[in-house]
Amino acid sequence: MTTSKVHVSLDVENLAQSIRFYSVLFNTEPTKIKPKYAKFDLDEPSLNLTMNETKPCCIQGLNHMGVRVETIEEVLAAKQRLEAAGFATSDEFGITCCYAVQDKIWAKDPNGIRWEVYIFRGDTEHAEIAPAEVACCAK
Total domains, the chain: 1
pTM comes to 0.67
DSSP 74: H
For residues 51 and 62, what is the distance between their CA atoms, to the nearest angstrom? 9
pLDDT on residue 130: 46
First and final C-alpha spacing in the chain:
33
- Averages of pLDDT over runs of 10 residues in the chain (139 residues) are 82 90 88 95 91 79 85 93 91 87 89 85 71 49
CATH code of the domain covering residue 13: 3.10.180.10
Range of the domain at 26: 5-137
